[in-house]
Structure 1
Amino acid sequence: MSSLNPQLEQTFLKPATIGEPIIERILFNHRPVWLTLFTLLTLFFGYQANQIRPEASYEKMIPTFHPYIANYLAHKDDLKGLGSAVRISVETTEGDIFTKEFQDTLKQVHDEVFYISGVDRTALKSIWASAVRWNEVTEEGLAGGPVIAETYDGSPAELKKLRANIFKSGQVGALVANNFKSAVVYAPLMGKDPETGEPIDYQAFSNKLETLVRDKYQNKTIKIHITGFAKVVGDLIDGANQVAVFFAVALIITLVMLYFYARCLRSAVVPLLCSVTAVIWQLGLLKTLGYGIDPYSMLIPFLVFAIGISHGVQIINAIAHENATGSNKELAARRAFRSLYIPGIIALVSDGVGFATLMVIEIPVIQDLAIAASMGVAVIILTNLFLLSILMSYAGISKASVNKQLHAEEHGKHQFWQLLSTFTQRRQAWALLIIALLMAAFGLHQSQGLKIGDLDAGAPELRPDSRYNMDNSFITDNYTTSTDIFVVMVQSAKEKCSDYRTLDAIDQLQWRMQQLPGVQSGRSLVNHTKQMMTGYNEGNIKWLALNRNQPLLDQASVTALPGSYNADCSLTPVFIYLNDHKAETLKTVVAEVEAFIDDFKGVEGLTFKLAAGNAGIEAATNVVIEKAQYQMLIWVYAVVGILCLLTFRSIRTVTCILLPLALTSLLCQALMAQLGIGVKVATLPVIALGVGIGVDYGIYIYSKLETYLSAGMSLKNAYFNTLKTTGKAVAFTGLTLGIGVGTWVLSPIKFQADMGILLTFMFVWNMIGALVFLPAIASLLYKRNPQSAQANDTLKPKVAVTKITTTKNTQKDEHCHAV
């Protein structure tokens, strides 16, 4: 059955060409040309994809249009060190930091970090930085100097002086641990690498920290702890190798299951090859157009692969069905393409436009993800509809696979499909609808616990026992000034930052913030001024307050550390150090600051602005995400619904396709709430992407169902025959992809494990929704045709019998062609 003689070619090909769409003629009449073009494009995009590297940008993670971020960017030059930064804690396991050996190591770490390209050297801080100073009032007047004196030589006397200087500098809890067993090197980063002019390569920077600092200086008596956005991203990118391993495992699982599904090695390898080609094209396109791939969008290539497999299986299934009816391999590929290219393109366009709606979220990293996903879907049209059909017209399907298809058609009882087809009956449909409503109610109730932002301390993208999170926990436990900093900017008239009324207002704000749970401490120009007031009065603690003598306040402000106020004394930052950056902590802090601003009726011309610092930026991001999550879903469902409506011209059809997807989205939100996965930049797109994958199932099933209904079958019979063809492919795809991505739960990267759980859930539940709930909804929405139902009480479709005489063996076979 792999080939037909000339007489049979006329029998089959002539009727087939009568209604050939022009796109089919262009594609199949010039197959060698297209294969050559596809090969050249694959080589080009493969070369480009080989050049792409994981990259990340701190600025791309933040919503620059938000008022908080706009305030920060407007004063960015006055707030050095509050953008992306790393904090390196050097810990001694023997004694304390007041030993010559420890101080020598700390100095070496400070110098090593100073020379790493990308570090803002003007803002680098440690007790070895000359800008970190101590101040006191003596009988002779004001005295002060660097914490590490010029006379320092490591002697006991100098170490004793160092201890005194640290106390007088106010750096205990900031650059020096509360227990004096560790000290910090704080390294703000520049936006671009000054040597290359390119954005900082966080992976290379993270690797330098490991090799030049941790590996070089950590030993039995010294431990190194490193935190910061650059380190998180570096660890995530390093984990990309493990992501690739799990991707390879998913490929192998898919290949094995494709083989057992089709019982044909060619039918397993070709769709897999086309799906991998789609991924290569996507990555190559991104590189060609100047885009990179972000650690938070590494799941996109797998989603492209998954969508490609979904469409590829439909093509293979249709070709096998056509082969079983007697078509040769080219004709089978033509007929399969003709029957599926319209629903396939519609489904993929729905996917692409749905993904593109993520552009409404004005966070660059999500917009880049939307572009990457849309590009991936666009290339699937070429690789998994066009290229796959052409390749299969040459490769064909093995006789064993065709015989399996014939045997299933003629002798299969299809008990499972018969069971599912009963869901088209009103009684069963109402039962399913009640179950769906109960599940929706449960999902709605559970999703109320869904939180915005991070729900864990440290870096939730990594495992709690990861080295980064252990380092973050160490710094949080041993320092008063944590790694999570929320900054309120207080703007005044020029030369008025040290005005009593300005300082008094800041003092009130700082006191209120320190009463909140989750706030470790607060620091500002007020702390330094109070310390100086005490020094002016022989260290008497009762003078640890703001003095109304303005000249004294002005004099005290002059000796404050750089960063306590800006150059013209018109901006004073208030640093609020938090226990963590959990969503609830940030929400509480923002609410309290805004309440203070509303209550404040103080100095004319004094303005409190939110917000800077990593916690302030994340608070703004959470606000945007909270607003955007429902806006995004509305756009996704609206766009997909409109496209389905334009295609099928039926509100009932759109309802049948979208309602199961909506149930899956709701249950996914409930699952996220139960698993403690917050909605944030990394997780927000997953729900939208899940809708895009699920709509493919619904469109394919409904398109085939409509074909059988148009032939006059009852809904039950039409759906039964749909299940035997398209439904079987949908079930296989959902289970295969679910198993493949389910292996991600073993990943050491928590972000990938969480995404594995969510994607597995969405793959499987979208499949269940399309196979079970879609026909039940159709049964309740569509009017019954009693005559049609009586005329088609059998589960077999109408067939037309064509006798085919082979000239070689003069054998006569009867092949049944489904209407």
Structure 2
Amino acid sequence: MKNATFRALGRVIDLLLRHRVLVVATIAALTCVMGYLAAHIEIKTVFSDLLPKNHPYVAVNNKFKQTFGGSNMVSIMLEVEQGDIFDMKLLGKVQKITQDLKKVEGVDTYQIVSLASKKMKEVRASTEGIESRPLMWPNLPRDQAGIAALREAVLNNPLVYGPYVSIDMKATLITADFTDGAVNYLKAYEQIQAIAERASGDGVLVRVVGEPILYGLVNHYLTETLYIFLITVGALVFLLLLISRTWHGTLLPLVTGGVSAVWALGAAKLMGFHLDPLVIVVAFLITAQAISNSVQLVSRFDDEVAAGAPSTAAAAKASLSNLFKPGMLAIVADAGCVLVVALTPIPMLEKISYIGTVWILSIMFSAMVLTPVLLSWCGLRRRYAHPVNIMPALQGILGLCARLVTSRARYAIVGGAAVVFVVSGLYAFNLKVGDANPGSPILWPDSTYNRDASAINQKFQGSDRMFVVVGGKHEGALKEPAVLEGMERFQKYMEAQPEVGGSLSLADILPAVKRVVREGNARYQELGNSANENGELVYMFVSGADPGDMDRFADPQALNGAVTLFFRDHQGETIRTAIARVKEYVAAHPIADAEFLLAGGLVGVLAAVNEVILAGQIEAIAFALLVLVVCCMFTYRSSVAGMFFMVPVLLSNTLTFSYMAWKGIGMNINTLPVVALGIGLGVDYSFYIVDGIREELHHHRDIGRAIAKSIASAGKGVLITALTLVTSVVLWSFSSLRLQADMGVLIAIWLFISACSALFLMPAMVLVFRPEFIVGSKRHPIEQATAVEPVPAF
């Protein structure tokens, strides 16, 4: 069976080499077509792609975001260095920013709130009756008396003092929401940043945070990201040329990676997908897999030539024949591991999964077909591009590996790996789902954005918001005293959580209005005693107001209202605690005329993302391991093979998860694709080493010699690939985006652990456990190979 399969593969390779001009022309033509499509792919971030599909929190957010505020809110804080905000110069800046925000593309002009907006009102009682009027609209205070009146109105208004004016009165807040689907993050960032810069100075500090600003920054750094990508490619070229010393050993792996990338991006355009700037590092990870396969073929080709191959075509055929099985197994296993990411119902992850699967499958043509065909044109005489020869050093490393794994040290290697697996596995339980630190994990802790977020959270109740909808069972339900009292108790309960800086609802408004009606007597700052009284208080508050002024508190029918919670951070643990507390309160305190609906706003949708990722992480890893086991069982016709190759995968996963937990890198929507890809990447190198051992045993029975030969041949490709990719990927650590730097380090760790597992652990396990599918047995001996027919020169 072995020889029959080998001969059939040989005939296919002969066909490819005989028609190599046609093969190259066909691949080149397809690459040109895909290149044209790839050139038109959009690079952008779409926030809706980050949200889970069919999740109840997201459904609530989408239903009520136009009323109670969505997840694309921007907060602008103006802080004075001396004095307080009740200064004509600062108030003028507030007014100017409020007016300028209306011109920002995609902003919802009805959701701009500040001291200078029409929505910010006070309720006053006089001999002429009750009136509700804006605090500082349309004009600024004219004199010091006007400023004093404004100060008094702010201090007596709980909707302003605290939420929009800091307790020390040194800062004021302006918020603006954007219409989902209409916001261009880069434009919004640039326009708001320009507004902030114009307002800065004269003793006033301006700080800006919000998802449009964050993702606008990501797009702002896109040029830098592309530069780093090009520098990384340049480092790859240099390292490959330094190590291989040949142009074919340098250029062919890069051609392989380039062709796969072009085909994948072209396919993405055909599928109507765009490319998110945050996943460019993931693209590099897939490209690394293409380069790895090509390096293995080139390395084996050089060995065949050095062994006296009669022609380059014969050397190319022998290279592909011997590496076809591990190469195809690596490709299929990686594609399957990436495809299972689509099981997580988040559009961005689904798109990454489909693009990544096409990308990896394209390696079948770019590496397994194009590389050997191009190698067949290389000359038998090796011409070196430079005199520096580091190959003896690499061979020394490989020789050390062979000596260690074939000596008694193999038991220490296997035992040490087991200890490392247990310890790292236990520590990996500290890995957090969601953001692991305050601020945005996309940016560095000392970035301007994260410093601004920290400053705003210190001055105000919190820049991150979640609204819980109080859905009435009939019109006017929100006016019922029992419903309002339930909202009030719920707010007090939630504010006991330290990360919740405050809350706001209709239950905060009506007591303030009742106090005004009672001549400012604080004893009457309470809810109405009946639905009718509460209805009158609502009417007093909205009298003279514009349509929509009450939207952030309740709808016109008093059917649905919102309790808005302000969070000082959106760490995974903070969000999980808040959601658990909401569910606990709702279960223990039902309201007859209404129900609580979770949850909207940024924190609400992040809660949905974290819940999906927690389940998706376990599901993706489980299915990816299942794909790996099935692929190995099918290839080697052994159930033991699947379990055997799970060892390097589990080890690389636990070590990487431990590193993430140690460095405070959370498992979130941006890191999950790298984790799934790492499952396949963690075993690719091992396929080549183990299959090399197995192939060598087809020629003789000496397992120690087979291991040494496999490490010397396949191990050379592993070492070259690991050295070049690990060294070059470290360049991502210079990125202004922390996420990209972290992902670069994770990729480097995965590559390093995978290489060490392939060179040390797997050969040692072969010698210690002697699995039947590799070394054979008396019942199933390893079939001896026959001579390969020579390939004529073309």
Fold-level match, TM-score > 0.5? yes
Quote how far apart the aligned CAs of 1:373 are.
Answer: 1.4
TM-score of the pair, normalised by structure 2:
0.91
SS of the residue corresponding to residue 372 of structure 2 reads helix
Whether 1:260 and 2:242 are equivalent positions in the alignment is yes
SS of the residue corresponding to residue 124 of structure 2 reads strand
Quote how far apart the aligned CAs of 1:664 are.
Answer: 0.9
Question: In the alignment, which residue of structure 1 is the partner of 2:357?
Answer: 374
Whether 1:461 and 2:447 are equivalent positions in the alignment is no
1:40 to 29, 37, 58: 29
- Counterpart CA distance in 2 for 1:37 and 1:521 is 64
Quote how far apart the aligned CAs of 1:403 are.
Answer: 14
The answer to whether the Cα contact below 8 Å between 2:71 and 2:605 also exists between their aligned partners in 1 is no
The answer to whether the Cα contact below 8 Å between 1:320 and 1:401 also exists between their aligned partners in 2 is no
2:333 to 350, 369, 373: 350
The answer to whether the Cα contact below 8 Å between 1:502 and 1:606 also exists between their aligned partners in 2 is yes
Whether 1:310 and 2:298 are equivalent positions in the alignment is no
- CA 1:596–1:412 in 2, change beyond 3 Å: closer, same or farther? closer
Quote how far apart the aligned CAs of 1:397 are.
Answer: 6.3
Quote how far apart the aligned CAs of 1:180 are.
Answer: 3.1
SS of the residue corresponding to residue 145 of structure 1 reads strand
The answer to whether the Cα contact below 8 Å between 2:245 and 2:385 also exists between their aligned partners in 1 is no
The answer to whether the Cα contact below 8 Å between 1:343 and 1:699 also exists between their aligned partners in 2 is yes
The answer to whether the Cα contact below 8 Å between 1:264 and 1:397 also exists between their aligned partners in 2 is no
- Counterpart CA distance in 2 for 1:282 and 1:65 is 28
Quote how far apart the aligned CAs of 1:67 are.
Answer: 2.4
Quote how far apart the aligned CAs of 1:341 are.
Answer: 3.0
- CA 1:19–1:41 in 2, change beyond 3 Å: closer, same or farther? closer
Quote how far apart the aligned CAs of 1:243 are.
Answer: 2.4
The answer to whether the Cα contact below 8 Å between 1:135 and 1:168 also exists between their aligned partners in 2 is no
- CA 1:107–1:396 in 2, change beyond 3 Å: closer, same or farther? farther
Write the mapping of 1:285-364 to structure 2, written as runs, cut at 5 A: 285-324=267-306, 325-364=308-347
Question: In the alignment, which residue of structure 2 is the partner of 1:759?
Answer: 747
Question: In the alignment, which residue of structure 1 is the partner of 2:505?
Answer: 524
- CA 1:163–1:290 in 2, change beyond 3 Å: closer, same or farther? same
1:233-253 per-position Cα deviation (integer Å, ceiling 9, x unaligned)? 111222232322332232222
SS of the residue corresponding to residue 497 of structure 1 reads helix
Which of 279-288 and 358-367 deviates more?
Answer: 279-288
- CA 1:483–1:149 in 2, change beyond 3 Å: closer, same or farther? closer
Write the mapping of 1:349-748 to structure 2, written as runs, cut at 5 A: 349-396=332-379, 399-400=382-383, 416-422=397-403, 427-480=408-461, 482-492=462-472, 493-558=474-539, 559=541, 561-601=550-590, 603-748=591-736
The answer to whether the Cα contact below 8 Å between 2:414 and 2:761 also exists between their aligned partners in 1 is yes
Question: In the alignment, which residue of structure 2 is the partner of 1:196?
Answer: none
Question: In the alignment, which residue of structure 2 is the partner of 1:131?
Answer: 119
Question: In the alignment, which residue of structure 1 is the partner of 2:231?
Answer: 249
- CA 1:207–1:77 in 2, change beyond 3 Å: closer, same or farther? closer
- Counterpart CA distance in 1 for 2:404 and 2:428 is 28
Question: In the alignment, which residue of structure 1 is the partner of 2:18?
Answer: 29
Quote how far apart the aligned CAs of 1:520 are.
Answer: 0.8
Number of aligned positions between the proteins: 770
The amino acid across from 1:708 in the alignment is E
- Counterpart CA distance in 1 for 2:180 and 2:239 is 47
Quote how far apart the aligned CAs of 1:150 are.
Answer: 4.6
The answer to whether the Cα contact below 8 Å between 1:48 and 1:283 also exists between their aligned partners in 2 is yes
Whether 1:237 and 2:219 are equivalent positions in the alignment is yes
SS of the residue corresponding to residue 756 of structure 2 reads helix
Which of 356-365 and 368-377 deviates more?
Answer: 368-377
- Counterpart CA distance in 1 for 2:224 and 2:771 is 53
- CA 1:37–1:551 in 2, change beyond 3 Å: closer, same or farther? same
Quote how far apart the aligned CAs of 1:37 are.
Answer: 2.7
SS of the residue corresponding to residue 477 of structure 2 reads coil
- Counterpart CA distance in 2 for 1:264 and 1:108 is 64
- Counterpart CA distance in 2 for 1:802 and 1:310 is 28
- CA 1:535–1:733 in 2, change beyond 3 Å: closer, same or farther? same
The answer to whether the Cα contact below 8 Å between 1:652 and 1:781 also exists between their aligned partners in 2 is no
- Counterpart CA distance in 2 for 1:455 and 1:241 is 28
Quote how far apart the aligned CAs of 1:487 are.
Answer: 1.7
The answer to whether the Cα contact below 8 Å between 2:43 and 2:276 also exists between their aligned partners in 1 is yes
- CA 1:522–1:717 in 2, change beyond 3 Å: closer, same or farther? same
- CA 1:34–1:54 in 2, change beyond 3 Å: closer, same or farther? same
- CA 1:479–1:766 in 2, change beyond 3 Å: closer, same or farther? same
Which of 92-101 and 269-278 deviates more?
Answer: 92-101
Which of 719-728 and 367-376 deviates more?
Answer: 367-376
1:414-449 per-position Cα deviation (integer Å, ceiling 9, x unaligned)? 664444335655954433222122111111221121
Quote how far apart the aligned CAs of 1:553 are.
Answer: 1.4
1:774 to 753, 759, 762: 762
Unaligned runs of 5+ in 1: 1-15, 194-199, 790-796, 804-819
- CA 1:180–1:413 in 2, change beyond 3 Å: closer, same or farther? closer
The amino acid across from 2:283 in the alignment is P
The amino acid across from 2:291 in the alignment is I
Question: In the alignment, which residue of structure 2 is the partner of 1:814?
Answer: none
- Counterpart CA distance in 1 for 2:789 and 2:53 is 67
- Counterpart CA distance in 2 for 1:402 and 1:337 is 25
1:687-726 per-position Cα deviation (integer Å, ceiling 9, x unaligned)? 2111222222122222222111122332211111111111
Quote how far apart the aligned CAs of 1:775 are.
Answer: 1.8
- CA 1:398–1:536 in 2, change beyond 3 Å: closer, same or farther? farther
1:337-391 per-position Cα deviation (integer Å, ceiling 9, x unaligned)? 2332343222111111110000111111111221221121122222222222222
Whether 1:158 and 2:141 are equivalent positions in the alignment is no
2:134 to 146, 155, 165: 146
Whether 1:71 and 2:60 are equivalent positions in the alignment is yes
Question: In the alignment, which residue of structure 2 is the partner of 1:8?
Answer: none
- Return the structure number with greater relative CO, CA threshold 8 A, min gap 6: 2
Which of 674-683 and 558-567 deviates more?
Answer: 558-567
Quote how far apart the aligned CAs of 1:757 are.
Answer: 1.8
The answer to whether the Cα contact below 8 Å between 2:105 and 2:184 also exists between their aligned partners in 1 is no
- Counterpart CA distance in 1 for 2:397 and 2:460 is 62
Instruction: Give me the CA root mean square deviation.
Output: 3.1
Quote how far apart the aligned CAs of 1:459 are.
Answer: 0.9
Seq. identity, %: 23
Question: In the alignment, which residue of structure 2 is the partner of 1:223?
Answer: 205
The answer to whether the Cα contact below 8 Å between 2:322 and 2:695 also exists between their aligned partners in 1 is no
Question: In the alignment, which residue of structure 2 is the partner of 1:103?
Answer: 91
- Counterpart CA distance in 2 for 1:17 and 1:774 is 25
Question: In the alignment, which residue of structure 2 is the partner of 1:283?
Answer: 265
Quote how far apart the aligned CAs of 1:258 are.
Answer: 1.5
1:204-227 per-position Cα deviation (integer Å, ceiling 9, x unaligned)? 22122223x134333343433211
Which of 762-771 and 291-300 deviates more?
Answer: 291-300
The answer to whether the Cα contact below 8 Å between 1:320 and 1:402 also exists between their aligned partners in 2 is no
- CA 1:495–1:201 in 2, change beyond 3 Å: closer, same or farther? same
Quote how far apart the aligned CAs of 1:151 are.
Answer: 5.8
